[in-house]
Structure 1
Amino acid sequence: MAEHKRVPSRRRKVLRVAACAFVALVVLGGGAAGWAYLKLNGNIKSVDIDSRLGDARPPAATDGSFNILVLGSDSRVGENGDLAGGATGDSARSDTAMVVHISQDHSRASIVSIPRDTLVDRPQCTDSAGKAVPAVKRAMYNSAFESGGAACAVKATEQLTGLRMDHYLQVDFAGFARVVDAIGGATVTTAVAIHDKDSGLDLPAGEHHLDGQQALAFVRTRHGVGDGSDLGRIELQKQMVKSLLQQAGGTGLFSDPVKLWSIGDTMTKSVTTDSALGSVNSLVGLVRELKGIGPDQLTMVTLPVTTAPTDANRVVEQQPQAGNVWAALRADQPVPQVVLSAQPENPAQTAPAESGAATAPAAHPVPKPAPKSTAKASAGR
């Protein structure tokens, strides 16, 4: 990996200290450290995706770059049902899907959000019980996870992108809320009021510091902002990711061993990984590889899509833009500027038109300052 002779930023220093402290915690022999290592390792749930997919996959990169598929599950099982509301059951869909590409020198990352309603040719795969899941033409992207679990979601994503998904990370409703609370919440700014009875989000315009449950409502809301589509919700999720990175890099967050233990315990309880990441050592190694990437080194885009010709409620990849995005990542190049310039606005940061419509677009929205407020959120659908 290329070496960089530059003065570390405050965030890089904090993450380096965090990684070193975490490594020290888990490798020290005997006593409390040994117990901590076993407990954290025992928290992690993992899936052996490689054995289920075999060799019929895109080749892994050889230049040091790699890709991670990050899924947010909308499972209502257990405590997720209390947070999410709505019908509970055993099935779950990939409510949020992000392909994270890490550059060859691990100095930058590109994240491509895939709308869950994107129609794709879903490949044949095998679910967690070993049952064959048949291929389907023009199925919703998120149905791959619902029908065949993590391995099927990875296979569908690899077929869509032509990229090898080297790693897999999954978090559900309860896990996301716990992680946000563990790092001290997240700050967001809205130019418009958001009221969504389905997600339970109730925010006046302004700046808000959200706890875990409120942050979950924020990334799930659709009907309370913009045109009510999944594309608007993705823009809110992008804002949340950057806010959490800012919060995680805050001074002193990882300097307290008690706080560090709490964060490590919470995070390892909250994720499901591929088997290669299914240990504390592997997760710490991943954190250390990514320590130089902050909000300024992160490019986030939504996959270019257009309304499906056969269904006004579904979308399909917009070509050639979507193909150009995947080609750029395969070549370890930045997302094309033509795609970046055509990205949708964040409906929460778009100033309302004079008519009062909260969904009117603005070329360069500048939110008006507003006093900080405590957001309210209740369990919603």
Structure 2
Amino acid sequence: MPHAVDTDHEAATVNAPPKARGSRTRGQRIRRIVAWTLLVLVLLAGGTAWWAYAHLNSNLTSIDLDQELGPDRPEKLATGAKDILVLGSDSRSGANKGLAGGNTGGTARSDTAMVIHIPEGRRSAVAVSIPRDTLVTRPDCTARDGSALPSAKRVMFNSVYTTAGPACVVKTVEHISDVRIDHYVEVDFAGFQDLVDSLGGVTVTIDKTIHDTSSGLDLEAGTHRLDGTESLAFVRTRHGIGDGSDLGRIGLQQQFLLATLDEIKRQDLLGSPAKAYRIADSATRSLTTDSGLGSLVKLGDFGRSLKGLDPGNLRTVMLPVAYDKVDPNRVVAAEPQASRLWKAIREDTGIPRSVLESTTSD
């Protein structure tokens, strides 16, 4: 009877021996495999992210300015503005050997120096270039070998890095400007070249043809997409422009800084994690910073504070200088323009027109 059949089937189902422990249906096995696969992928992704973070973080080199310089420094700006000393270092050794001409004796120099002033609000900035041939008074410092280095007058600015290293450069800038340097960023030549290549090049436009056998730069007037090697020659060239001194080169360096910032902003790095990582890897390998920026977290926090800063709102100016009357191959700060410039930076006010219009004087 149908009822009996149904009863027998129900009884058979209820009284069936239990499945061996661990035995699962095909659907359960598939779901378990998918779940474990997803878990492994998450763990791998997390591990990769951690590895990437650890790798990039380990690329950074930092110095503790507060410990190196002590308490005898200019006061911090009460306005919340920030001042950053950016150096381009020319070690002429190791990976830098033979880059863009020059001797390769192994000495280290600060080939490029800019004080970047970022007012409160972080929506504009002023980059003040200090000519490397400027004669300055170097304050008491500690030499690279750890010995005491007494104060000295009429020292060429870029020799301070060679003799005593980055902390003494910061101290020297603070001494001549009375501006508190909040952060220090150093980019070495080899790292600079890799950074430009990781960006896929940087576009610049020049009004006059540049031929410089020393740096290897050979560009006709017009617009050019420069790779890392060409970019390095571009920021180092001086014999092919102006009077052949460091003063003409500064204009190219400032132009290239703006072009690089614009290139970074233009690229969709969020849409290309792999490219973003390559750029970050190149950038961090080339950097030495103060301890306040000495980690990815600190760099990231500082970078986010600048998200409102457009490259178009970065004004570039050279420290007003005059040719030295004793040594015409050197320059000295031109007064009163130089003092007016540093005063404007200290007080977080607009740069006077007399400073913006001045370059060199006889």
Q: 1:114 is matched with which residue: 120, 126, 130?
A: 130
Q: Deviations over 1:45-104 (max 9, x none)?
A: 111222111001101123211111000111111121132344323421111100011101
Partner of 2:152: 136
Q: 1:250 is matched with which residue: 242, 266, 274?
A: 266
Q: Is the 8 A contact 1:76 1:84 kept in 2?
A: no
Equivalent AA in structure 2 for residue 230 of structure 1: D
Partner of 1:304: 320
Q: 1:182 is matched with which residue: 198, 201, 214?
A: 198
Q: 1:48 is matched with which residue: 55, 64, 73?
A: 64
Q: Is the 8 A contact 1:184 1:247 kept in 2?
A: no
Matching of residue 319 in structure 1 with residue 340 in structure 2: no
Q: 1:171 is matched with which residue: 187, 199, 204?
A: 187
Equivalent AA in structure 2 for residue 342 of structure 1: S
Q: 1:70 is matched with which residue: 77, 80, 86?
A: 86
Q: 1:289 is matched with which residue: 301, 305, 309?
A: 305
Partner of 1:10: none
Partner of 1:278: 294
Matching of residue 232 in structure 1 with residue 248 in structure 2: yes
Matching of residue 268 in structure 1 with residue 278 in structure 2: no
Partner of 1:20: none
Partner of 1:31: 47
Equivalent AA in structure 2 for residue 76 of structure 1: R
Q: 1:59 is matched with which residue: 62, 68, 75?
A: 75
Q: Deviations over 1:121-178 (max 9, x none)?
A: 1111013442212211111111111110001100000001101111101111111111
Please report how far the alpha carbon of residue 231 of structure 1 lies from its aligned counterpart in structure 2 after TM superposition. Answer: 0.7
Say which SS state the counterpart of residue 96 (structure 1) adopts.
strand
Work out the percentage of aligned pairs sharing the same amino acid.
52
Instruction: Compare 81-90 and 271-280 and name the one that shifted more.
Output: 81-90
Equivalent AA in structure 1 for residue 282 of structure 2: T
Counterpart-to-counterpart distance in 1, 2:69 and 2:358: 35
Say which SS state the counterpart of residue 225 (structure 1) adopts.
coil
Counterpart-to-counterpart distance in 2, 1:200 and 1:91: 21
Say which SS state the counterpart of residue 98 (structure 1) adopts.
strand
Partner of 1:104: 120
Please report how far the alpha carbon of residue 188 of structure 1 lies from its aligned counterpart in structure 2 after TM superposition. Answer: 1.1
Please report how far the alpha carbon of residue 335 of structure 1 lies from its aligned counterpart in structure 2 after TM superposition. Answer: 1.4
Normalised TM-score (structure 2): 0.84
Alignment of 1:146-165 (within 5 A): 146-165=162-181
Q: Is the 8 A contact 1:76 1:85 kept in 2?
A: no
Please tell me the root mean square deviation across aligned C-alpha atoms, in Å. 1.6
Please report how far the alpha carbon of residue 215 of structure 1 lies from its aligned counterpart in structure 2 after TM superposition. Answer: 0.6
Q: Is the 8 A contact 2:141 2:164 kept in 1?
A: yes
Counterpart-to-counterpart distance in 2, 1:187 and 1:314: 32
Please report how far the alpha carbon of residue 282 of structure 1 lies from its aligned counterpart in structure 2 after TM superposition. Answer: 0.8
Counterpart-to-counterpart distance in 1, 2:155 and 2:143: 17
**Alpha-carbon spacing, 1:325–1:167, altered in 2? closer, same or farther (3 Å):** same
Q: 2:139 is matched with which residue: 123, 126, 131?
A: 123
Equivalent AA in structure 2 for residue 163 of structure 1: V
Counterpart-to-counterpart distance in 2, 1:183 and 1:135: 42
Q: Which has the higher contact order (CA 8 A, sep 6+)?
A: 1
Equivalent AA in structure 2 for residue 265 of structure 1: D
Q: Give the length in aligned residue pairs.
A: 317
Say which SS state the counterpart of residue 169 (structure 2) adopts.
helix
Q: Is the 8 A contact 2:127 2:317 kept in 1?
A: yes
Matching of residue 241 in structure 1 with residue 261 in structure 2: no
Q: Is the 8 A contact 2:81 2:348 kept in 1?
A: yes
Say which SS state the counterpart of residue 53 (structure 2) adopts.
helix
Partner of 1:195: 211
Say which SS state the counterpart of residue 117 (structure 1) adopts.
coil
Partner of 2:229: 213
Equivalent AA in structure 2 for residue 284 of structure 1: G
Equivalent AA in structure 1 for residue 80 of structure 2: G
Say which SS state the counterpart of residue 187 (structure 1) adopts.
strand
Please report how far the alpha carbon of residue 292 of structure 1 lies from its aligned counterpart in structure 2 after TM superposition. Answer: 1.5
Q: 1:330 is matched with which residue: 329, 346, 350?
A: 346
Equivalent AA in structure 2 for residue 171 of structure 1: V
5+ long unaligned stretches in structure 2: 1-43
Please report how far the alpha carbon of residue 317 of structure 1 lies from its aligned counterpart in structure 2 after TM superposition. Answer: 0.7
Equivalent AA in structure 1 for residue 176 of structure 2: L
Say which SS state the counterpart of residue 328 (structure 1) adopts.
helix
Normalised TM-score (structure 1): 0.80
